[in-house]
């Protein structure tokens, strides 16, 4: 006896009983009917479907379960390790953090300059401007004075004489 299948229990007619409804399904008509009669329920075709025990049973097509649809093929291409959109967002955050850190490093020396530091910078600028004059060196400027005397003499009949003395 094989161990990969469970043994089957034999079926007996006593265990499987047909279903008998408690009411009569025969239609009763009050008028005599002439000609061929087709009931509304009889237009639906009968199909055979398997039941839970593997037997084929008849069933109206309208009451049968929908047939199984084939599964669409799966996409088996490998996905990227990180989402490309997430990579772009992370790169933007790293860029912003790096830029902020660099600007902070460039402006950090300005944080140490207080009122005393600004005073010493002002003293250095004034000393730089005054040092050549105090040391006696530097540029000498010669002064030359120029006096110009202009004399304009008007005479009759529109004659004018102009004299320039230096």
Question: CA torsion 115→116→117→121, rounded to 10°?
Answer: 100
pLDDT, one tens digit per residue, over 113-126 is 787 888 889 999 99
Share of the chain above pLDDT 70, in %: 71
Long-range contacts of 117-123 (CB under 8 A, 24+ apart): none
pLDDT, one tens digit per residue, over 114-166 is 878 888 899 999 998 888 777 766 566 677 788 888 888 888 887 888 888 87
Q: In angstroms, what CA-CA distances link 55 with 17, 63, 145? A: 14, 18, 135
Span 3-32, mean pLDDT? 62
pLDDT, one tens digit per residue, over 52-65 is 898 899 888 888 88
Contacts for 44 with CB less than 8 Å, ≥ 6 apart: 60, 61, 62
């Amino acid at each position: 006896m094989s161990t990969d299948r469970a043994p089957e229990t034999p079926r007996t007619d006593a265990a499987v009983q047909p279903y008998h409804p408690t009411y009569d399904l025969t239609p009763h008509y009050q008028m005599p009917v002439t000609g061929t009669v087709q009931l509304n329920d009889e237009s639906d075709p009968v199909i055979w479907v398997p039941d839970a025990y593997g037997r084929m049973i008849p069933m109206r097509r309208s009451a049968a379960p929908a047939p199984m649809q084939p599964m669409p093929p799966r996409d088996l291409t490998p996905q990227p390790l990180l989402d490309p959109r997430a990579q772009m967002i992370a790169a933007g955050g790293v860029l912003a953090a790096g830029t902020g850190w660099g600007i902070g490093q460039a402006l950090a020396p300005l944080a140490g300059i207080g009122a005393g530091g600004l005073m010493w910078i002002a003293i250095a600028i004034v000393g730089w401007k005054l040092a050549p004059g105090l040391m006696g060196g530097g540029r000498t400027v010669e002064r030359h004075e120029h006096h110009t005397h202009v004399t304009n003499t008007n005479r009759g009949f529109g004659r004018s004489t102009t004299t320039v003395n230096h």
